Structure 1
Amino acid sequence: MKKFERFKGVVAPLDRANVDTDLIIPKQFLKSIKRTGFGVNLFDELRYLDEGQPGQDCSQRPLNPDFVLNQQRFKGSEVLLARRNFGCGSSREHAPWALEDFGFKVVIAPSFADIFYNNSFKNGILLITFPEDVVDRLFAEVELSEGYQLDVDLENQRVVTPSGEILEFEVDEFRKHCLLEGLDDIGLTLKDEDAIRAFEQKHKAARPWLFRQSA
């Protein structure tokens, strides 16, 4: 997992509440567990005018011109602005995989579904919760300003708007540490690699019969 660094990114507004994980990445794309390649099918039902299938060449599919991620002004967006209860529905980890593979580093919303919240942090995506009135204001500012960008500073737990307004946010210290250091569950385990190896060697020496191979 990459270390989360301070960045300034274009904001894409998804003005929709209760976006569930099946809308984020539809069920037919859940066959792979590679964590990559899901970006082209992010919000598949909204982005395209036909029904997508696994392995399909999406470059030849008809795009929905009204969908926000297909609009030129939001190309290359790294911050997704959403409404309440984002990520509800099933627990599929493919949802944050798709968001990350598309290029999103941050999702801002008034609230998130619990399992999606946990999965996102474990896959390097920062979820920021702001009150609904603040989110409403951000939606309005994005609408009025093409190329609207937010400066996201995880270290100091703040977001800076183009006008210079500072919006502070809360984040669990452990999750913050993992994002800043680029540590997923495997990375956290490997930090103790020397201790694990030492234990295995000691265990093998104390109980050699457990490791004898049968003839």
Structure 2
Amino acid sequence: MKRSGPLLTLLAGLLVGLFMLSLNATTGEKPTSAAVQPSPSTKASPSAAPTNPTPPPRATPSATAVPEGVYTGRTDDDSSAVAITVRDDKAIAYVCDGHNIESWLQGDVKADGSLRLTGKGGASLEAEVKGTRQLRGTATVGSGSYPFTIDRSKKSSGLYRANSTVAGAKIEGGWIVLPDGEQVGILKRDGKPSPAPRIDPETGAVTVDGQQLTARPVTP
């Protein structure tokens, strides 16, 4: 009986150990992986709509547009007179030496202050504005070339023209009245030129072969 004591003790210990192993197997929790919730994707905020860019400033002409009016004066060599009338981007010019050389020219005025006029027989005139009261250019009439610088006229000066019939003859007259009162013009009778008689700049009245005519200011 004495030998059975230690065996019983050993057996009891084995049973306790098996019980404890069985208990751990029954109550132990399996590790679980935490469900990782993906964070909601942050949507890119739409970029602000681009504002309308400020348009570049418009280029302005380098030269000044030709002010309307009548410009009169003499050529650089003092041989002839020149008159140019500007209105509504159009121009009419008259070049005359007061004896037998003359030409009527016309054309457009450009926004940059330049103009090119043409007339019969290949006549031409090119000019550009200088400041606000002058035109500088060159007129070509026949075989002659006439540089000029002419000023914007006052009321007393200007460009005049008359067309009529006197004693059965066709009359064509052109006059340039200069600022100092001098008049340069040609009167044609049936195409034959001669120095024009004086006109009254205030009324345009002129007497041709005993008959009174009216010379009118020239505008484009």
| TM-score normalised to structure 2 length | 0.25
Query: Would you tell me which structure has more helix in proportion to its own residues?
Result: 1
Instruction: Provide the TM-score with structure 1 as the length reference.
Output: 0.26
Pair member with larger Rg? 2
Greater relative contact order structure (CA < 8 Å, 6+ sep) = 1
